[in-house]
């Protein structure tokens, strides 16, 4: 997925959820890409809370291809197809690291987006044992 695809998907999402008070945050490789790290983005990962899942379910219903309870995250999950790409929206039942108190709004390609700082992203990846991502962020921050 190229940056122009990420922007196009986020424009669709912001058009439908922008201005609401729903908690949501872009995570995964798209978060790293927005920070300027050269990574491959295969899909877009969004984390929200249970109220947010309901909000996304209502506002993105025409894009939803799968709506289910995920045992892996112990919470509801939506899989959407937006602009031909997969968008996964999750509400984790067991959250060790509360991302919602760490949300930062950044301007990227003329879009104001909710993401984690790289330091908080690194802490999150450490908390879930994702060593490759931790090392990638550490290398980027050391440059």
Q: Structural domains in the chain?
A: 3-124 (3.30.460.40)
Phi, psi angle pair for 15, to nearest 5°: -60, -30
pLDDT of 128 reads 79
- Please answer whether residues 34 and 41 qualify as being in contact, where contact means their C-beta atoms are separated by less than 8 angstroms: no
Rounded Cα distance, 55 and 10, in Å:
16
Query: What is the number of residues in the chain?
Result: 143
What's the confidence (pLDDT) of residue 114? 95
Element (H, E) at 114: strand 111-115
Supply the pLDDT for residue 98.
64
Report the alpha-carbon angle 80-57-122, nearest 5.
65
* Paired tokens of 123: 């802490």
Q: What is the pLDDT of residue 56?
A: 97
Cβ count near 107 (within 10 Å): 8
pTM of the model: 0.90
**pLDDT at 46 (0 to 100):** 95
3-state helix, strand, coil in the chain (%, to 5): 40, 30, 30
63 closest CA partner among 2, 12, 7, 115:
12
Instruction: Pick out the chain residues at pLDDT < 70.
Output: 95-98
Give residue 18's pLDDT.
72
């Amino acid at each position: 997925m190229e940056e122009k695809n990420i922007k196009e998907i986020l424009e669709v999402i912001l058009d439908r959820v922008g201005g609401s008070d729903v908690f949501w945050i872009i995570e995964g490789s798209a978060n790293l890409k927005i920070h300027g790290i050269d990574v491959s983005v295969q899909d877009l990962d969004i984390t929200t809370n249970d109220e947010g899942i309901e909000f996304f379910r209502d506002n993105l219903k025409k894009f939803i291809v799968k709506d289910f309870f995920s045992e892996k995250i112990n919470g509801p999950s939506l899989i959407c197809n937006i602009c031909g790409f997969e968008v996964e929206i999750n509400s984790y039942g067991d959250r060790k690291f509360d991302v919602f108190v760490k949300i930062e709004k950044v301007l990227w390609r003329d879009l104001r987006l909710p993401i984690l700082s790289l330091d908080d992203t690194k802490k999150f990846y450490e908390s879930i044992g994702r060593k490759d991502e931790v090392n990638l962020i550490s290398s980027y921050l050391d440059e």
